[in-house]
Structure 1
Amino acid sequence: MTTDLSPSTASGPAPKPPGRSPRALWHLGVNAIVVAWLGLFAAVATAHHFLPHASWLLVHILLLGAVTNAVVIWSGHFAASVLRLPESNRGAPAALRLACLNAGAVAVIGGMLIGRRNAVLIGGCLVAAAVTAHAVWLVRLLRRALPGRFSMTVRYYIAASALLPAGAALGVVMARGDLAGDLSDRLLIAHEMINLLGWVGLTVAGTLITLWPTMLRTRVADGAERAGRAALPVLLTGLAAAVAGALLAPPPLAAPGVAGYAAGLVVAGRPWLREARAKAPRSFAAWSVAAGCLWLAGSLTVLAGILVSTTSWTTVAERTSVLTAPLAAGWIAQVLLGALSFLVPVVLGGGPAAVRAATTGLERAWPARLAITNAALLLCVLPVPSMVRVVCSVLLLVMLLYFLVLLVLTVVRGTRKRRKAARGHADPVPAPAPARTEGPSAPHRVLGGVAFGLAVVMLAVAGGGAVDVRSLPLVGRSAATSADGVSEVEPTGRTTTVDVTIRDMRFSPSAVDVPAGDRLVIRLHNTGTDTHDLVLETGARTDRLSPGKRGTLDAGVVGRDLSGWCSVVGHRQMGMVFAVRVTGAEASDTAADRDGAGGTGSQDGSGTAHDHGGGTSRGTGESAAEAFDPMAEPTDGFTARDAELPPLTGGSSPTLHKRTFTVKEAEAEVAPGVRQTLWTFNGTAPGPVLRGRVGDIFEIILVNDGTIGHSVDFHAGALAPDRPMRTIQPGQSLTYRFTATRSGVWMYHCSTMPMSLHIANGMFGAVIIDPPDLPKVDREYVLVQSEFYLGRQNGTADADKVNAKEPDVVAFNGYANQYDHDPLTARTGERVRIWVLAAGPNAASAFHVVGGQFDTVYREGAYDLQPGGSERGGAQVLDLAPASGGFVETTFPEAGDYPFVTHVMTDAERGAHGVFRVR
C-alpha cells in the first residue's frame, strides 16, 4: 500500500511530541458534523410519530445530512492520500464547501417541513454548488499530482460529485408539487437512482478499492486497479441507462440499466473477494462493510425484479418503498459506521498503541451488534406482525445510539490522554504484556457474540408477538372434551382434512362436519381482498393471511361442537363465523347454542362478549360508556381542536396538494375522562382538513403504521376504486391521486370492511372544494359531526353497538361538548361561514345555531338559499344525511353566547353541542 490509510502509518520513525496534530484536529472537527447528523437522525427516529413527513425526514437526515458530509470529507481525505498530497484536503476552501453544504441541507429539510418551496430551491442550489466545487477541487488535485497506482479512485469521486447536482435538481423540481401524471413517480425513481447508486454508490466503490484490503490488513489483490478502471465506465453506462429508462421509457426498459450497474459492481468487486479469501474479515469495520454490500446486492436484485414485473411507474414508486430500509440502514448506514470505526482511530493518531486502543473501544461487542442489526433489519423487511417490526426498529435505533456513544467515549478518552501527556502527567509506560494467544476475534468469541445477538432479537420478537393480542391464548376447554364437558372423547386415529375458502367476508363452507374422535385439520385459502384468519374457541388459529395466501389450522382431536371466527377487528360482526359440528356423538353444547343466530361472540361467566382480535375486548378496566358524563368539565389547560378552516393555497391555476396520511393507533380523550384507542389519519379523529379549488390535484400518500389493514376513499375524486382504495397491510403505502372536478364538502374515510367500524373508530375527515367565485367572509369554521360507540376505557369501538346503531357520544370535531368549554368566537356584524360534514357512520345531522338565522345555505354542491332574494327567506337548519356536507352563513346581531347543536336533540345531549361567543 502506498496510502496513509493503515494504522501502521500513524506513527513515524521518530516519536512526535504530545498533542493533537492539525490534521487530526481537522478530522475531529469535520467528523463531528457527521456525528451530529447521526444524532439528529436518532432523535427524529425516536419522535417520528409526532413529526410531519417522518419517513422523508429520516431518509434525508441520514443521506443528505450524515452521508453526504461523510462522502465529501472522506473522499477528500482518500483523494489526497492516494495522490500523496496529504495536506491539501484542509483549510478555508474545504471549510467553506462544508459550510455551504450544511446550510443547503438545513434549508432543504427545513423548507420541506414548513412548506417553503423557495427554501428548498435555495438549499438545493447550495448543496449542488458545494459538491460541484468539491468536484472541481478533485479535478485540480488530480492534475497537480504525479501519476499514481490508485488515482482511478479519484475518478470515481469526480464522477460521483458530477452526478449529485443532477439528482439535487430533480429533487427541487419534485418539491414544487405541481407535476401531473406519472412524471412525479418517474422523477422520484431517477432522483433516487442518481443519488444512491451514483453519488453514494460510486464513492463507496472507489473507496473500497484501497480501504477494503486495508481493513483486512492484507495487500491489494493483483489486478485491483485494472478492475477499478474497467468497472467505472460499466457502472456509469448502466446508471445512465437506468435513469434514461426511468425518465423516458416503461419500467421494464430500465431493468437492463440496473443489471448493467450490478455488473459493474461485480467487475470492481472480484478483487475484493480474493482479498477476503486471502485474509478473512476479523473486525467490526470489515464485517459491517461486507454486510452492507450484501444488502446492496439484494436490493439491486429486488429493484430489477420490480422493474421487470410492472408497466406502471406509480406502482414502481409504491413497491420500491420496501427498499428504503435495506438501502439506507442495511447498505449505506452499515458501510458508513464500518468506515468510521476503522478511520476515526487512524486519523486521531497517537501511535500504534493508541490506534489499537481506540479501535478496541469502537469494536466492543461487535459480533453481537452486527447480529442484532442485520437480524432485526431482516425482520423489518419481512411480513411480520406490526409490533414485531416496531420492536426490531427500536433495536436498530439502540445499535446506532450505542455506536455513537462508543465513538464519543473513544474521542474523549484519547483527548484526555493527550492532554495529560502534554502537561507531563502521562501514565507510566507499562511493561510489555505477554502475547495473547487468542484475540477478540477468536472464533468461539465471535460465534458466542453472534448467538447472543440472535438471542436478543428472538426475545424481542417474542415480546412483540406477546403484545399483539392475536397471540394471546383463548380460555376454553380442549377440543377433545366430549359434549358432557367432563370426559374426553376416545381418539379414533383418523384425520379429517377440510378445505375452507374465504370469499367476500365469509368462510366457505361456514360449517364442517367431523366424526367424534377424529383429528381435524383445516386448510384455509384467502381469496378475498383483505387480511383474514381463522380462530377456534379452543385457541387454535391460523396466522393472519394476506390476500392469496394459505394457512393450516390443526384443531387436534375433536369431541364436541366448536365455534370459530375471523379475529380481525369487526370481521366477526360482519358474519365471518365458522362452526365445527361433531357427528356420531351427542353435542348438546352446540356451536349454534353458544354463538346464537348472529354469531356475535362466545360468552364467559359474566356474559361479556369477546372479540379476540380487537373490538370490545381490547380495553381494560371500566366501560368507557359508564365514565361518560355529558356535564363533566375537561381538565385544566384543555384546548379544543382548532375549528378554523385553513385558507386556500396556491394561485388561480390548478394547484397540486401533496400530503402524507399516516395511519396511527392513538389513545385519545373523546370526552372528559373518556379515553379510546382510535384508528386515525395522522393521529387525529377527524383527520386533517383538506381544501382546494375546482381543478386542483390532490396526491395523498397513505402509509399504514397501524396493526391491521386500512385504506382510504376520497369522495372528492371520481376514479375507479380498485387500486387507490385498496386495503394495505401494516408497513405498506400507496399513492392516491385525484382531481377535484366538482365543488362541495366531501368526506373521506377508511373503506376497509367493516367500513362502519373503521369510521366509528376515527378514520374519517373532510375535503372542502370551494365553489367558484365563493365570496370572502370574516370567519370560516369547519365542524365534522361523528359518533363514538364506546368500548372499554382505552379500548376500541364496540362493534356490536355500531351494528345496533347505539352511539354513546356524538361530537363535533372528535370531542364531546368541546366548544362549550372553549367557544368559537365572532364579532357582531361579522359574516361567519360554517362548513358542516356529517361523517356518521350512522347518524344524520341537523345543524342549528340557537338564536341565529341562516341567510345562505349550500348543501351537496348547490345553493338552497342565497341572500338578496325578493322573498327575504331564511333557514333554521342545515339537514345532512350521513356523508353529506354543506355550509351556512350568518351574522350575529348582538353580543352574547349562541349555542349550536344538531337538532336531533338526543344526539345534542350526547355531546354534539357548542357555543359561539360573540363580542
Structure 2
Amino acid sequence: MATEPPALPVGRPPQPRRCRHRAAPRRDGDLRPTDVVSSFFICGIAFLVAAAVAAIVQAVAPWPWGRWLALHLAFVGGISQLVLGAGQFFVGAFLATDPPPRRLVRAQLAAWNLGAIGLALAIPLDAGTAVWIAVGLLVGSLASWGLAIATMWRRSLRRSPWAVAWYCCGALFLGLGLLAGSLLAHGVPWAQGDLLGAHMSLNLAGWFGGAIVGTLHTFYPSLTQTQLRHPRLQPLSFAAWNGGVAALAIGYAWALDPLAIAGWLALCLGALALLINVVASLRGAVRPLSLAARLVGAAQPFLLAALVVATTAAIDRGPDEALVGATRATVGTLLVAGWIGLTVLGSLLHLLAVVVRVRGGFTARMPDPRPRLDRLVSILAMLAVAALALAQKGGPASLHAPARWLLIAVYAMLALRVARLAGRVLLAARPSI
C-alpha cells in the first residue's frame, strides 16, 4: 500500500542552509593578496640592498656601528618585512579569505619602515627619545599586523589554527625582543642575567625562526607539489620550538643555565621534526625540482647543524659559550648564511615569480627548472656554507678564503635573479596599496 510523503509544516518554507561567512565578490580596485605580499617584499628587498651596501662600506672603511647597522638593516628592515608580508599572504590562503583592509596594510608599511629607519639613525647617534619613538613605531606596526590577522580570522571561510599559531607566537616573541632591545639601547642596568642573550633568543629564534619553521610546514610541500607527510610532527615541532624559545630567553635573562640548555635541546627537537617532513617532501617531490625548492630544501640541514653546535657548546662550557664563545662564528655562518639566507632567497625566487604570474593574468610562465644548473647551484651553496663553517670551527684555514668567495659568488648570482623578478614586479605587476 502506497504511503503519502510527510506533510511539510505550514508557515515559512524551509530555507537552504547557509555558510556562516560569505566572501563578497571582488571589485575593481579591491586589495589583492599579491598587493600585500609584493609591497612588503619590495620594501624588504630595498632594505636588504641597503644592508649589503653598509656591509661593503664596513669592510672598506670600518666604523664602530657599521656591523650593527648592516645587521639591523638586513634583519629588522629586510627579513622582518618579508615575514610580515608572507605571513598575511599565507594566512589569507590557508583561511580562504580576502586580504586585510587597505588602511591596516598602509599603517603597517608606514610605521615599520619609519621605525626601522629611525632606529638605524637614533642608536648610532645615541638619541634616547628618538629610540623610544622608533621602537614605538615598530610595536605599533606589529599591533596593526596582529589586527590584520585577527580581521582575516574573523571573516574566514574555514578554520586553520596552524595558519596563525606560528605567526602569533613569533609576533609575541618579537614584541618582547623589541622591549629587551630598547632597554639595551638605553643602557638600563640588568644584573639578573644576560639581557643581550635573551634579546637574541627572542628575535632570532622566536621571530625569524618561528615564522620560517612554521611556514615551511605548508610552504615546502607546495614547493615540491606534495603533502605534509607526517602532520603529527607539526604539533611536536610547534611545542618544542616555542617552548625552547621561552626557556632560552628566560634562562639567559635570569642566568638559569639548566633552563637555557633545556631550551637549546628543545630547539634541536623542533628543527629535527621539521627536517623529517622536509626530507619526506623531497623524496616524494615531482621532478624536476625548481631552483627555489632545491635551495629551501638545502637550507634546512644547516638549522639543525647550527643548533647542535650551539647546544654542544652550551652543555660543555655553559650557555654563554653558544652565543659569544669560540663557536659564535660557526653558528652564525650556519644560521645566517646557510639556513636563513638560502631559505629567504629560495622563497623570494618562488613568491616573486608567483606575483608576476598572477598580476599578469596568468600569461607569464613560472621559471622553467634547469635540473643540471639548479642542482649545481644548490650543491655549491651547501659546499660553500659547510666549508666556511668548518674552517671557522678549527678546520683547515686554507678553506676560509675559497669558501667565502664561493659563497659570495653564489649569493650574488641568486641576488641577481631576485633583483630581476623584483624589477618585473615593479614594472609590470606594480602593487596597489
TM bucket (normalised to shorter chain) is 0.7 to 0.9
Deviation at 1:140, TM superposition (A): 3.4
Q: 1:33·1:66 contact (CA, 8 Å) conserved in 2?
A: yes
User: How far 1:388 moved relative to its partner?
Assistant: 5.7
Question: Does the C-alpha gap of structure 1 residues 251 and 355 become closer, same or farther in structure 2, counting only changes over 3 Å?
Answer: farther
1:124-139 paired onto structure 2 within 5 Å: 124-139=135-150
Q: Deviations over 1:608-658 (max 9, x none)?
A: xxxxxxxxxxxxxxxxxxxxxxxxxxxxxxxxxxxxxxxxxxxxxxxxxxx
Residue-by-residue CA offset, 1:580-633 (whole Å, 9 max, x unaligned): xxxxxxxxxxxxxxxxxxxxxxxxxxxxxxxxxxxxxxxxxxxxxxxxxxxxxx
- The residue aligned with 1:99 is 110
Look up the match of 2:298: 291
The secondary structure found in structure 1 opposite 2:325 is helix
Per the alignment, do residues 181 and 213 of structure 1 end up closer, same or farther by CA in structure 2, a change over 3 Å counting?
Answer: same
Structure-2 separation of matches of 1:123 and 1:109: 9
CA distance in 2, matches of 1:317, 1:418: 44
Q: Equivalent of 1:163, from 173, 188, 198? A: 173
Q: Match of 2:158?
A: 147
Residue 302 of structure 1 corresponds to which residue in structure 2? 309
Does the C-alpha gap of structure 1 residues 404 and 265 become closer, same or farther in structure 2, counting only changes over 3 Å?
closer
User: Deviation of residue 193 (structure 1)?
Assistant: 1.2
Task: After TM superposition, give the deviation of residue 230 of structure 1 in Å.
Answer: 4.4
Greater share of strand residues, 1 or 2? 1
1:204 CA displacement: 1.3
String of CA shifts for 1:856-895, please: whole Å, max 9, x gaps.
Answer: xxxxxxxxxxxxxxxxxxxxxxxxxxxxxxxxxxxxxxxx
Matched ranges for 1:732-881 at <5 A:
none
Matched, 1:119 2:130: yes
Residue 227 of structure 1 corresponds to which residue in structure 2? 233
Q: 1:199 aligned to 202, 207, 212, which one?
A: 207
For the Cα contact (< 8 Å) 1:153–1:209, is it kept in 2? no
Q: Which amino acid aligns with 1:272?
A: V
Amino acid in the other structure paired with 1:31? F
Report the Cα offset of residue 84 of structure 1.
0.6
Q: Is the 8 A contact 1:244 1:254 kept in 2?
A: yes
Task: Determine whether 1:71 maps to 2:83.
Answer: yes
Report what 1:277 is aligned to: 283
Aligned pairs, number:
394
Higher relative contact order (CA 8 A, sep 6+): 2
2-structure distance, mates of 1:267, 1:312 = 23
Counterparts of 1:329 and 1:305 in 2: how far apart (Å)?
A: 20
Aligned partner of residue 99 in structure 2, secondary structure? coil
Shift of 1:415: 7.3
2:17 aligns with none
Residue 373 of structure 1, CA deviation: 2.8
Shift of 1:399: 3.2
Task: Output the CA distance in 2 between the equivalents of 1:32 and 1:304.
Answer: 36
Q: Distance in 1 between matches of 2:348 and 2:226?
A: 19
Aligned to 2:19: none
Helix, strand or coil at the partner of 1:218: coil
State the Cα distance separating 1:387 from its structure 2 match: 8.1
Does the C-alpha gap of structure 1 residues 268 and 375 become closer, same or farther in structure 2, counting only changes over 3 Å?
closer
The answer to whether 1:255 aligns with 2:256 is: no
Counterpart for residue 583 of structure 1: none
Q: Is the 8 A contact 2:180 2:199 kept in 1?
A: yes
Report the equivalent of 2:18: none
Alpha-carbon distance between aligned partners in 2 of 1:414 and 1:236, rounded to the nearest angstrom: 35
Partner amino acid, structure 1, of 2:320 = W
Does structure 2 retain, via aligned residues, the 8 Å contact 1:380–1:393?
A: yes
Equivalent residues in 2 for 1:45-444, closer than 5 Å: 45-49=55-59, 50-52=61-63, 53-85=65-97, 87-89=98-100, 91-148=102-159, 150-177=160-187, 179=189, 183=193, 186-221=194-229, 224=231, 226-279=232-285, 282-311=289-318, 313=320, 316-319=323-326, 321-322=328-329, 323-348=331-356, 349=358, 350=360, 354-356=364-366, 359-360=367-368, 365-381=373-389, 382=391, 383=394, 389-390=400-401, 392-412=403-423
| Root mean square deviation, CA, Å | 3.3
Does the 8 Å contact 2:91/2:149 carry over to 1? yes
Offset at residue 291 of structure 1 (A) = 2.2
**Alpha-carbon distance in structure 1 between the residues aligned to 2:127 and 2:429:** 47
Query: How far is the alpha carbon of 1:29 from its aligned partner?
Result: 3.4
Change (3 A) 1:114 1:321: farther
Deviations 1:731-759 (A, max 9, x none): xxxxxxxxxxxxxxxxxxxxxxxxxxxxx
Shift of 1:245: 1.5
Cα distance in 2 between the residues matched to 1:326 and 1:318: 15
Give the conservation status (yes or no) of the 8 Å contact 2:291–2:369: no
Evaluate the alpha carbon distance shift between residue 259 and residue 354 of structure 1 in structure 2; reply closer, same or farther with a 3 A threshold.
same
Over 3 Å counting, the alpha-carbon distance change for 1:124 and 1:414 in structure 2 is closer
- CA shift, 1:115, in A, is 3.0
CA contact (8 A) 2:296 2:347 kept: yes
Give distance in 2, aligned partners of 1:367 and 1:139.
41
| Distance of 2:225 and 2:99 partners within structure 1 | 26
The answer to whether the Cα contact below 8 Å between 1:252 and 1:307 also exists between their aligned partners in 2 is no
Cα–Cα, structure 1 residues 373 and 56, in superposed 2: closer, same or farther, change >3 Å?
A: farther
Q: Which has the larger radius of gyration?
A: 1
How far 1:160 sits from its partner (Å)? 0.9
- Residues 317/418 of structure 1: CA separation in 2 closer, same or farther (3 Å cut): closer
In 1, Cα distance between the equivalents of 2:126 and 2:114?
A: 17
* Kept after mapping to 2: 8 A contact 1:250/1:311: no
Q: Shift of residue 418 of structure 1?
A: 8.2
- Distance in 1 between the 2:428 and 2:280 partners? 39
Q: Give 1:78's aligned amino acid.
A: F
Please state whether the residue corresponding to 1:325 is helix, strand or coil.
Answer: helix
Following the alignment from structure 1 to structure 2, what is the Cα–Cα distance between the partners of residues 315 and 338? 28
**Using the alignment, how far apart are the partners of 1:114 and 1:390 within structure 2?**
35
What TM-score comes out, normalization by structure 2 length? 0.80
> CA shift at 1:311, angstroms?
3.9
Which ranges of structure 1 fall in alignment gaps of 5 or more residues?
A: 1-16, 420-919
Q: Per the alignment, do residues 280 and 180 of structure 1 end up closer, same or farther by CA in structure 2, a change over 3 Å counting?
A: same
TM-aligned CA deviation for residue 201 of structure 1: 1.5
Q: Summarize the Cα distance change of 1:272–1:163 in structure 2 as closer, same or farther, 3 Å threshold.
A: same
Q: Structure 2, unaligned stretches of length 5 or more?
A: 1-27
Distance 1:300 1:145 in 2: 37
